[in-house]
Amino acid sequence: MGNKQTTFTDEQLEAFQDCTFFTRKEILRLHSRYRELAPHLVPLDYTNNPDIRVPLALIVTMPELKENPFRDRIVETFSEDGQGNLSFNDFVDMFSALCETSPRELKTIYAFKIYDFNRDNFICKDDLQQTLTLLTKGELTEDEVLLVCDKALEEADLDGDSKLSFSDFQNMISKAPDFLRYNHVLYSHLYLCLLLLLLLLLLLLSG
């Protein structure tokens, strides 16, 4: 992006900032990444919100997704048409939900959607089976996979309908908090403390 052409208006950027977990700079970077995928398709100028979608096949070539066994499902989940064609909004949406600062709750909702292969709002045995096949790259035998599915459903299902509703899923996830959660909240507290301390000392000195 050598020339100084505007990609987004200030208003657009502000809207993105309010609605996603990204800063202005990151949004622009995301746009350039998006544009790299299909340079002939995506224009530089996004001020009038062109309706352009990049197909799934191109999206999954990104290094972030390339090796992920769930890449197709992830992209499909975030695409508005459900086929995996992402508009720039969808693209931003995807990265915003997957980024580190997004809250656990939001991640849980999208994780549920991703694991819900047949989109019936339940994770049933089939979904679980597909998940496991993708996870283990088909190294478990059919019987083993079925056994794992049965046991897992038995464990996590609370209301006994032998499939996982969202609340079951959420309940299970909440017990396995394997996310990293050192966020910059801690640091901001640290620096606010420092500022307060400075003020306090000033008061002491002048008093």
Tell which positions 131-190 bind another protein, by CB under 8 A: 131-132, 135-137, 139-140, 144, 147-148, 151-153, 155-156, 158-167, 169-182, 184, 186-190
Answer yes or no whether residue 75 interacts with another protein by CB under 8 A. Answer: no
Structure tokens at 175: 């017990």
**Interhelix angle for 88-98 vs 24-37, to 10°?**
120
Measured from the CB atom, the residue of 3 and 178 that comes closer to another protein is 178
Angle at 112 between CA 23 and CA 80, to 5 degrees: 60
Answer yes or no whether residue 102 interacts with another protein by CB under 8 A. Answer: yes
Stretch that binds another protein, among 2-10, 33-41, 53-61, 197-205 (CB under 8 A): 197-205
Q: Provide the Cα torsion 114, 117, 121, 126; round to 10°.
A: -130
Window 34-63: residues binding another protein (CB under 8 A): 63
Number of residues this chain uses to bind another protein (CB under 8 A): 102
Phi and psi at 117, nearest 5°, equal -65, -40
Q: What is the CA radius of gyration of the chain?
A: 22
Amino acid of residue 162: S
Query: Among 89, 87, 59, 88, which residue's Cα sits nearest to residue 71?
Result: 59
Among 3, 18, 39, 48, interactor with another protein by CB under 8 A = 18
Stretch that binds another protein, among 1-9, 36-44, 53-61, 93-101 (CB under 8 A): 93-101
Measured from the CB atom, the residue of 40 and 155 that comes closer to another protein is 155
Stretch that binds another protein, among 1-9, 30-38, 40-48, 120-128 (CB under 8 A): 120-128
CB of 2 to another protein, least distance (A): 23
How far is residue 56's CA from residue 62's CA, in Å, rounded to a whole number? 11
Among 1, 23, 43, 73, interactor with another protein by CB under 8 A = 23
Angle at 152 between CA 151 and CA 154, to 5 degrees: 65
Answer yes or no whether residue 33 interacts with another protein by CB under 8 A. Answer: no
Answer yes or no whether residue 95 interacts with another protein by CB under 8 A. Answer: no
Structure tokens at 127: 């979904």
